A and B are shown apart, each in its own frame.
Chain A
Amino acid sequence: MKSFIAFALVASLCALAQANEEGVCRNSVVSACGSSSFSALTGFFTGESTSICNARFAGIESIEPEVQAYINSQLTKSYEYLLLATHFNSYQKNRPGFQKLYQGLSDRSFDDSIDLIKKITSRGGIVDFNTRHESPASVSTQRPTLEVDELHSLALALDNEKQLATGATHVHTRATHAALRDPELAHYLEESFLPKQADSVRKLSGYANDLAKLMKVPDPSLSIYLFDEFLQKQ
C-alpha cells in the first residue's frame, strides 16, 4: 500500500509539473492523503467509473456513446458474416470461395471490435454491450435473410461494408466537429479503419460488378463456379 501511495504522489507531482488545467486528480489525492482513513483513497483508484483520476480528456464525452454504438455494430455484422459464410458452406451451396470471403469479413469485424474496445477503454471510456444507442454508427440487430444466391450475397456484403464505413465516418465526424474535439480518436479512425474500409468497399464493388457481368449468360452456373474458384485464391 505504501508503495502505491508513493506512486500516486509521484504521479500527482508529475501532474503538477504539467500544470493540469484543473488539477482535480491532484486535489483529490491531497485531500485523501490528509484524511484519517484509507478508504478515502480507495474510492479514487478502484474501478468505480466515477473516479476523478481517470484518462478522460478532449472529446471523449461526446464520442464515447458513438464508439459504443459502433462496437455493437461491428459485433452484429461479425455474426451476420459468420452466418453468410455458413450458408455458402452447406453442401447445397458448396462455394468455398464465398465462404472464405465472408469468414474473413466476420473475423475482421470481430478483431476490429476488440481493437475498438481497447481504444475506447484506453481513453477512459467504457463499453456497454446491452444498450443500443441510436446513432448513424448503429446497425439494426434485425438480421436480413441470409439464404441468398451468390450475386445477392455480394450486394448484401457491399451494403454492409458501406454501412460500416459510414459508421466509422460518423464517429470521425463527431470527433472532429463536436464542441470538444478529439483528434486522437479521429486519427485512430483515419489510420486503423477508414483506409481499410475503403479498400474493402472497393473490393466488394469490384466483385459484384464482375460477377454481374459474368452472369449475363443463359446459364450462369459455370460463371459462378469459376468466380468461386477465383475467390478461393484471393
Chain B
Amino acid sequence: MVKFIASILLLAVVAQQAYGDFKLPKARKVTEISKTSNDPTNSVMKELKKQNKNVILTHANAGQEEELKHKLICSLEVPEIPKAWLDMKDACISGMRHQIQEEINASYQYLAMGAYFARDTVNRPGFAEQFFKAAKEEREHGSKLVEYLSMRGQLTDNVSNLINVPTVAKQEWRDGASALEDALELEIKVTKSIRKLIATCESKPYNHYHLVDYLTGVYLEEQLHGQRDLAGKLTTLKKMMSTHGELGEFLFDKNL
C-alpha cells in the first residue's frame, strides 16, 4: 500500500515537473491519506530520501510541502556513436517531411468524403466504405514514410511538428461522380508531389538510391494503379449517370 502511494506521489512529482498540470491538491491528498493510514512508514518522502541523497530536487511547491531530497534520473544520456551512416541530405529530408503531411492531408480529405456519403440523407454506403478505406491507406502511407526516415537515422528531433492536424477543403459533394472526380484530382496531386520528391532525392550531387527506388517501386506503383482504378470507376458511373441519374448512382454504390 505504502509503495503504491509512494509511486503515485513520485509519479505526480515527476509529471508535475514536466507538465505542471498535475493538480497539487491531489498530491497533497495522497500524502494526507498516507498519514492517516496509521502506517509507521507512512512518509513517502522519507523513503525516497533514504534512497537518494546526492541531489536535491525541490518540490515545485516547496512553501507548502516539505523538501524532497532524492534524485530520479529519467533521461538517459545519448551515447556517442559513429555518424557517417547518417547520409540523408536536407533537401530530401524536408521533401519527405512535406510528403508525409500531404499523405495525412489526403487521409483527412478521404475521411470527410466517407463521412459525407455515410450521411442518412445521402446514403451511399459503398462510396462511404471506399473512402474510409482510402483514408486508412493514406494514413498508412504517411506513417510508412515516417518509419523510413527513422530507419535512415532521422527523426531524432523535430518529431512534435512533423504532422499538423489539417483542415479539409471540402465537406460536401454534389453526387458520387463529383466525389470520385475530386478523389482522382487528389491522387493526381499526390502523384505529382511524389515525382517532385523523387526528383529532389535523386538530384546531384547526392542520389538517395534506396529511397528513390522505394518511392518509385512502392509509392508510384500504388499511385498509378489507384488512379487507373478511380478513372475506371468514374467513367462507368458517368456513363450511367448521363441517362439513368439517381438510379445509376444507386446501383453503382451497391456494387462498390
Contacts and interface: CB of A to CB of B under 8 A. Distances in A.
Partners in one complex: yes
Interface of A: 1, 4, 45-49, 51, 53-56, 75-76, 79, 82-83, 86-87, 89-93, 110, 113-114, 117-118, 121-124, 126-130, 141, 143-152, 155-156, 159, 208-209, 212-213, 215-216, 218-221, 224
A128 B119 CA distance: 12
A82 B163 contact: yes
A114 B132 contact: yes
B38 interface: no
11 contacts: A47-B121, A51-B121, A86-B159, A91-B150, A117-B132, A118-B128, A121-B119, A124-B121, A212-B10, A216-B48, A219-B73
Contacts of A48: 121
A117 B111 contact: yes
Contacts, number: 163
Contact of A121 (B48, B115, B159): B115
B116 A47 contact: yes
B73 A145 contact: no
A92 B78 contact: yes
B74 A151 contact: yes
Interface of B: 3-4, 7-8, 10-11, 14-15, 18-19, 21, 48, 51-52, 72-76, 78, 104, 108, 111-112, 114-116, 118-122, 128, 132, 135-136, 139, 143, 146-147, 150, 153-157, 159-163, 165, 167-168, 171-173, 246-247, 250
A140 to B, nearest CB: 10
Given A4-B246, A143-B160, A152-B15, A122 B111 contact: no
Given A47-B119, A47-B121, A152 B14 contact: yes
A79 B165 contact: yes
Contacts of A150: 74
B11 A155 contact: yes
Nearest to A90: B156
B115 A147 contact: no
A220 B114 contact: no
Contacts of B172: 47
Contacts of B112: 127, 129
Contacts of B72: 215-216
B18 A148 contact: yes
Contacts of B51: 216
Contact of A82 (B146, B156, B161, B171): B146
Contact of B104 (A49, A79, A129): A79
Contacts of B135: 114
A150 B76 CA distance: 9
Contact of A212 (B11, B111, B157, B159): B11
A215 B71 CA distance: 10
Nearest to A121: B118
Nearest to B77: A221
